[in-house]
Amino acid sequence: MLSYAQHMERGASLIAGIKAAALGSLFGTGLLTLITFVAGISLMSEDVFAGLLVIFLPFLIGFGSAGLGLLVFGLPLTNVLRQRGKESRNAYVVGGVFAGLIPPLLFALVVGEFDFSLTIVFAFGALTGALTGHYWWRFARKPLVESDTTDLIAQFE
């Protein structure tokens, strides 16, 4: 059974992960969201839900991808970097870039086509991954590394 401190530490890590994925996808897909804003506004006269979906779709896809990437790629990377004592902002940003490139690459391999539109998806994936890695470092890992502790809850006491 987990102690209160362990529950709090997991909660703090979860909050840091949600913030990292949200901010990474917000800033990583911000330009694309501005572009889809125009299309979404024009659709809202016919169907408000469809218009809102078009406006927020880039952010929702980015947030889902960033969250999944953080779970599948980021947490194992964190474990490896922590064990080796190599945690840094640059390590998480570079890891995020690679994690952000994996979904479009898999899509391209399955479809069997590489075109200019896929290049744009690669760019937004890499940017969202890099920003998510940066914010993961900033909110979850930097306080622990700089204080030389492994207990995230100790940061709040």
- Cα distances from 105 to residues 1, 8, 101, 155, in angstroms, run 41, 37, 6, 39
Distance CA 124, CA 28 (A): 6
For the chain, what is the total number of helices (H) and then of strands (E)?
Answer: 7, 0
- Give pLDDT, residue 1: 62
Q: Which two tokens stand for residue 11?
A: 């909660």
| Helix ranges (DSSP H) in the chain | 4-28, 30-44, 48-69, 75-84, 89-111, 116-136, 142-147
Distance CA 82, CA 88 (A): 10
Q: Which two tokens stand for residue 98?
A: 């690679």
Higher pLDDT: 148 or 69? It is: 69
- 44-83, pLDDT tens digit by residue? 889 999 999 999 999 998 999 899 999 999 989 999 998 9
Task: Kindly state the percentage of the chain with pLDDT values over 70.
Answer: 87
Please answer whether residues 95 and 132 qualify as being in contact, where contact means their C-beta atoms are separated by less than 8 angstroms.
Answer: no
SS3 content of the chain, % helix, strand, coil (to 5): 85, 0, 15
- Give pLDDT, residue 80: 92
Give residue 108's pLDDT band: very low, low, confident or very high (50, 70, 90).
confident
pLDDT for residue 95 is more than 90: yes
Mean pLDDT of the chain: 85
What domain range includes position 129?
4-155
Q: Which two tokens stand for residue 34?
A: 């501005």
Q: How many domains does the chain have?
A: 1
- The closest of 95, 90, 71 to 145, measured between CA atoms, is 90
- 30-44, pLDDT tens digit by residue? 888 898 999 999 998
